[in-house]
Copies of this chain bind each other. A is one copy, B any other.
Amino acid sequence: MALVVQKFGGTSVADVDRIRSVAERVAASRARGDQVVVVVSAMAGETNRLLGLARAIAPSPDDRESDALVATGEQVTAALAALALQQVGVPARSFLGHQVRIETDSAYGRARIVRVDVERLQQTLAAGTVAVVAGFQGVDGEGRITTLGRGGSDTSAVALAAALGAEACEIYTDVDGVFTSDPRIVPRARKLERISYDEMLELASLGAKVLQIRSVEFAKRYHVPVHVRSSFNQEEGTWVVEEEATMNEVSVAGIAHDGDQAKLTLLQVPDHPGVAARLFGPIARANIIVDMIVQNVSEKGATDVTFTVPRGDYEKARALAEGVAREIGAQGVTSELNVAKVSIVGVGMRTHAGIAARMFDVLAAESINIQMITTSEIKVSVVIDAKYTELAVRALHDAFIGSAGTEAK
Contacts and interface: CB of A to CB of B under 8 A. Distances in A.
A53 interface: yes
A248 interface: no
A79 interface: yes
A57 B83 contact: yes
Contacts of A145: 96
Contacts of A65: 79-80, 82-83, 86, 93-94
A54 B58 CA distance: 31
A84 B99 contact: no
A83 B61 contact: yes
B50 A76 contact: yes
A325 interface: no
Contacts of A281: none
Nearest to A17: B56
A87 B57 contact: yes
A56 B16 contact: yes
A99 B71 CA distance: 15
A166 B82 CA distance: 40
B99 A143 contact: yes
Interface string A48-60: 0010011011100
B96 A83 contact: no
Nearest to A68: B79
A96 B76 contact: no
A228 B180 CA distance: 64
Contacts of A50: 76
A144 interface: yes
Contacts of A53: 16, 76, 80
Interface residues on A, range: 35 or more
Nearest to A67: B79
Given A93-B64, A98-B98, A99-B143, A69 B76 contact: yes
Interface string A82-105: 111011000001101011000000
A57 B99 contact: no
Given A16-B57, A143-B99, A79 B83 contact: no
A236 interface: no
Contacts of A25: none
Contacts of A20: 57
A19 B96 contact: no
Given A57-B87, A83-B65, A75 B72 contact: yes
A306 interface: no
Interface in A143-169: 143-145
A66 B75 CA distance: 11
B72 A94 contact: no
A65 B96 CA distance: 11
A347 interface: no
Contacts of A69: 75-76, 79-80, 83
A283 interface: no
A83 B54 contact: yes
A82 B78 CA distance: 25
Question: Which are the 9 A-B pairs with shortest beta-carbon distances?
Answer: A69-B79, A72-B72, A68-B79, A65-B79, A58-B83, A16-B56, A58-B87, A65-B82, A57-B83
Given A54-B79, A68-B94, 18 more contacts: A16-B53, A53-B80, A54-B83, A57-B80, A57-B83, A58-B83, A58-B86, A61-B83, A65-B80, A65-B82, A69-B75, A69-B76, A69-B79, A69-B80, A71-B75, A72-B76, A96-B145, A99-B143
19 contacts: A16-B53, A16-B57, A19-B57, A50-B76, A54-B79, A54-B83, A57-B84, A57-B87, A58-B87, A61-B83, A62-B82, A62-B86, A65-B79, A65-B80, A65-B82, A65-B86, A66-B83, A68-B96, A99-B143
